Amino acid sequence: MATDIRDAATEDKGKPAKRKRTGPALFIRQVIGELRKVIWPTRKELINYTIVSLVFVLVMIGLVSLLDWGLQKGIFALFA
């Protein structure tokens, strides 16, 4: 792409430059650092989000079930 940034190693050989791997301890420290940046929901927000999600899933189950039932009745009427 035109927006990609190339470094000197890429332009010389036409191959991407090798990156140094991090150790497991550094990886864990970085993960913990990123998790500290997360804004965790309060208990009230979490309960609210859970209820909204469950209601949405139940509504979608109802819609798909009605659609399935209607298509079943239509197919049975067509071939019976």
Give the per-residue pLDDT at 19.
Answer: 78
Give the per-residue pLDDT at 13.
Answer: 62
Q: Is the pTM of this model over 0.85?
A: no
Alpha carbons within 13 A on the beta-carbon side of 8: 0
CA–CA distance from 21 to each of 18, 27, 33, 73 (Å)? 9, 10, 18, 59
Looking up tokens 């990156």 gives 19
Least Cα distance to 63 among 71, 51, 53 occurs for: 71
pLDDT at 10 over 80: no
Q: Given pLDDT bands bounded at 50, 70 and 90, which one contains residue 3?
A: low
pLDDT, tens digit (0-9, with 9 covering 90-100), for 22-79:
899 999 999 999 999 999 999 999 999 999 999 999 999 999 999 999 999 999 999 9
